[in-house]
């Protein structure tokens, strides 16, 4: 046992926020509190948590989690839950490092020895997908995800959807399974049309066919298509998730470990989903710490199905040289072979963070600004 001595956070390129917790005996762990486009808000929340939780027992992870959540009165939401996630992940890493065990052993042990993964192609306005798909295949991936569309009006010309179907066909011809991320960009009139048009091409799933706040529309859409429906990155707790499970409107749940309160909460969400025969495929276009945490959860979760990896995702390449192989001492842990990454077996999260690189980049890293789309008439469109 040891009391928390310090909680530090580091804003790093391209758009990530890392957290380090150290106890009074010098034991430490790393977490990730990335909330894309809202780093300053999470940092402010972390400042308040630092004042509150320094001096708490580092091993009492659930007690700290419950205190942060239940004593906040105004609970949940992306900012609070992302800040809490960063600390929660770091505490699990600290504990398992102190015990010299891989984290998944503390969560019940492995139910698999390697993790099925997918990566991204295409960017916010998807183009040149055939060449990108061939590159991913050569890297060892057997599944990818891409944005289904560019920005689309509330009711647009059906021609706006034709290229979406063609891109799906092209990528599948390369030999890859394809998840199509609607990204909440489409409204119901267009989402129904696109789901129908894609059905003959059998995508792996369609993600956020509507924004998560339109749960009644998602329920309606689920009865309209045979394509598996996935969502979850904008759900921040088990209470946000339960209505989608209760009304059986989704097939694949995609909570983000850095948005939903960390390892402690994503484990509870996964167990809820299993009871409804819903698969877990965590959202993670983020940094190596969040990805390692997802991998540890995947190792011990029966209903896990596939893990997102942000390897050379467009958000990373747009920012320059920083990717998930940065900030860690052994980037080979992310090598992909025939669609799988080997389970992480090192102590803690299974990665060694390059603290020198983290501290160096954090000295000058600016916060990443969220993007947006504007229609030809000047109106704001979903991004």
Catalytic one of 104, 183, 259, 314: 183
* Contact of 64 with 91, CB cutoff 8 Å: yes
Tell me the CB-side half-sphere exposure of residue 156, using CA atoms within 13 A. 24
DSSP for 88-155 reads HHHHHHHHHHHTTSBHHHHTT--S-SEEEEEEE-STTTT--HHHHHHHHHHHT-SEEEEES-S---SS
Q: How far apart are CA 226 and CA 212, in angstroms?
A: 19
Q: How far apart are CA 322 and CA 316, in angstroms?
A: 6
Residues pairing with 207 in the sheet: 181, 230
Q: How far apart are CA 310 and CA 20, in angstroms?
A: 22
Catalytic one of 38, 104, 283, 314: 283
- Say whether 183 is catalytic: yes
* Contact of 64 with 55, CB cutoff 8 Å: no
Hey, what are 124's tokens? 């916010």
Neighbour-count burial of 84, counting CB atoms closer than 10 A to its CB (0-12 exposed, 13-18 middle, 19+ buried):
buried
- Say whether 71 is catalytic: no
Residue with tokens 């009165």: 73
Q: How far apart are CA 108 and CA 127, in angstroms?
A: 43
* Contact of 85 with 261, CB cutoff 8 Å: yes
Q: What is the largest CA-CA distance in the chain?
A: 63
Distances (CA, A) of 189 to 62, 97, 158, 217: 44, 51, 10, 10
Catalytic residues: 183, 283
């Amino acid at each position: 046992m040891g009391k928390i001595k310090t909680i530090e956070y580091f804003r790093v390129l391209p758009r990530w926020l890392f957290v380090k917790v150290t106890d009074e005996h010098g034991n430490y762990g790393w977490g990730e509190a990335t909330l894309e486009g809202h780093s300053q808000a999470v940092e402010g929340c972390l400042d308040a948590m630092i004042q509150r939780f320094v001096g708490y027992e580092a091993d009492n992870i659930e007690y700290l989690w419950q205190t942060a959540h239940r004593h906040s009165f105004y609970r949940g939401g992306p900012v609070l839950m992302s800040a809490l996630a960063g600390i929660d992940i770091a505490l699990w890493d600290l504990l398992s490092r102190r015990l010299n065990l891989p984290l998944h052993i503390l969560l019940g042990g492995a139910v698999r020895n390697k993790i099925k993964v997918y990566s991204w192609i295409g960017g916010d306005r998807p183009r040149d997908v055939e060449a990108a798909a061939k590159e991913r295949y050569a890297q060892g991936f057997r599944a990818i995800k891409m944005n289904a569309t560019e920005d689309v009006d509330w009711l647009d010309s059906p021609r706006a959807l034709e290229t979406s179907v063609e891109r799906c066909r092209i990528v599948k011809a390369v030999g890859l399974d394809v998840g199509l991320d609607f990204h909440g960009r489409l409204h119901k009139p267009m989402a129904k049309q696109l789901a129908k048009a894609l059905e003959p091409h059998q995508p792996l799933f369609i993600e956020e066919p509507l924004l998560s706040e339109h749960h009644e529309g998602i329920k309606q859409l689920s009865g309209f298509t045979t394509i598996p429906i996935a969502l979850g990155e904008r759900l921040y707790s088990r209470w946000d998730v339960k209505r989608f499970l209760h009304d059986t409107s989704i097939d694949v749940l995609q909570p983000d470990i850095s948005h939903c309160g960390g390892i402690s909460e994503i484990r509870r969400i996964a167990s809820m989903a299993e009871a409804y025969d819903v698969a877990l495929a965590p959202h993670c276009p983020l940094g190596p710490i969040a990805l390692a945490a997802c991998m540890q959860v995947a190792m011990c979760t029966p209903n896990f199905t596939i893990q997102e990896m942000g390897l050379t995702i467009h958000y990373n390449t747009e920012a320059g040289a920083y990717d998930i192989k940065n900030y860690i001492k052994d980037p080979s842990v992310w090598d992909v072979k025939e669609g799988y990454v080997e389970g992480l077996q090192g102590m803690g999260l299974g990665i060694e963070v390059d603290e020198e690189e983290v501290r160096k980049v954090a000295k000058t890293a600016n916060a990443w600004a969220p993007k947006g789309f504007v229609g030809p008439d000047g109106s704001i469109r979903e991004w």
